[in-house]
Amino acid sequence: MTESSDVVIVGGGVVGSSAAWHLRQDGFTGRILIVERDPTYQRASSFLAMGGIRQQFCTPVTLQMVQFSVRLWKTFDQQLGTPDTRPRAWFRQRGYLFLANAATSAALMKRYEEERRAGATVQLLSVDEIRQIAPDLYLDDILFGVLGPDDGYANPREVLFGFRRSAEAAGAEYRVDDVVGIEHAGGRVIGVKLASGGTVSTAIVVNAAGPWAGRVAAMAGLRVPVEPMRQMLFRCVLPERWPYRFPMLIDPGGVHWRHDDPVGPHDRDAIIVAFTNWNERTGENLAPDDARWARDFHPAMVRRLPALKDVTEVTSWAGLYEMTPDHNPVLGFHPALEGLIFANGFSGHGLMMSPATGKIVSELVRTGRSTMFDIGIFAPDRFDRGALVHDAATI
């Protein structure tokens, strides 16, 4: 069976769904087909994410993308959804607070200065000012902090389903299937092959496949190095309701956590804790590594917050980062194949930038270029050209 669509989006997670929603918001009336192989999203990065949203980056276009996104995060629960179902992404603008000790102070100060030059709203905090935000922290080894007061976090699953339901309500079509081939002729996309055996003719394919984006690129005969890498998360129930709310708090050693506030009247107060293992092997590994709690997470967290020494109610899960060699996204048309748009490779920052990414895809589909953001440095062929992007603000 052969059918046609004006746009085929490979991947119906937060980026693909944001793209579909933005296309409709911007007046695109053509057929939008989103191919998503797992409608439960049990393996989707956005479904399993921590939900952090920060503008503390050193690259101006990255910063501008997050600032654009924050404007939507502030009103997400009111703007998206359907008359019957509103999302509760619940963007809590409590800030991102990076702590600096003797080993990290020079790098963090340099990064702070670069962020300010790029246009970020960031504040340098003394130890006494940090103590006013989080009085229980051990700060004897801390020299200063850098706070992004406009930053915060949201509920990833509510974000995902908020975008998806809104896109569907606007007429975007979701298909449970898997893209297994990208057809092209004369240097341009002409369609996709589906695992079900069908084909869809189209002139535009959006690669929003997250950790599997490299595999999708290979279907078109292209090498774009996006690989999955496991990221462990733990949810830790607090012994009592904490007297204040944590920002996203990043220890100099790398462990970081945020509040996971009670939603219902009987829910208990909790935090979600992350600690990226940069030596993690790439691959589609979603098996939780529970041994890391006692080995890495808990000791580092307790050194910074001794009051959490005796916590015992801990649950774990693993998600996948979509890693690139320079930890920066892959955005835009690939120059070797007309009609193939990349929107992936965010290396842990995809959800926070998803509103801007959706807007970028919408512009590329409708006008052939991104006018709101200068995304040239994120071109899909930059790895072949050796034009990697450096941004010190990755964690």
Q: How many CB atoms lie within 10 A of CB 116?
A: 14
pLDDT of amino acid 82:
84
- What's the chain's length in residues? 395
pLDDT of amino acid 265:
83
**Tens-digit pLDDT profile for residues 261-281:** 998 888 999 999 999 999 999
Q: Tokens 């219902």 map to which residue?
A: 264
The stretch 245-251 carries a mean pLDDT of 97
pLDDT of amino acid 395:
63
% helix, strand, coil for the chain, step of 5: 30, 25, 45
Is 90 exceeded by the pLDDT of residue 88?
Answer: yes
pLDDT of amino acid 310:
86
Question: Rounded CA gap, 360 and 371, in Å?
Answer: 8
Fold matches, 2-85+156-226+325-385 and 96-150+228-320: no
Average pLDDT, the chain: 96
Task: Name the superfamily (CATH) of residues 2-85+156-226+325-385.
Answer: FAD/NAD(P)-binding domain (3.50.50.60)
The stretch 93-110 carries a mean pLDDT of 98
pLDDT of amino acid 1:
62
Fold of 96-150+228-320: D-Amino Acid Oxidase; Chain A, domain 2 (3.30.9)
pLDDT of amino acid 144:
98
**Tens-digit pLDDT profile for residues 277-305:** 999 999 999 999 999 999 999 999 999 99
The torsion angle over the Cα atoms of residues 19, 22, 27 and 32, rounded to 10 degrees, is 30
Question: Rounded CA gap, 14 and 38, in Å?
Answer: 13
SS3 per-residue string spanning 230-267: EEEEEEEECCCCCCCCCCEEECCCCCEEEEECCCCCCC
Question: Rounded CA gap, 12 and 174, in Å?
Answer: 8
Is 70 exceeded by the pLDDT of residue 119?
Answer: yes
SS3 per-residue string spanning 97-114: EEEECCCCHHHHHHHHHH
The stretch 29-43 carries a mean pLDDT of 96
- pTM exceeding 0.85: yes
Which residue type, as a one-letter code, is found at position 271? I
The stretch 213-238 carries a mean pLDDT of 97
pLDDT band at 90 (very low <50, low <70, confident <90, very high): very high
Q: Which is nearest to 260 in space by CA: 276, 243, 239, 236?
A: 236
For the chain, the domains span 2-85+156-226+325-385, 96-150+228-320
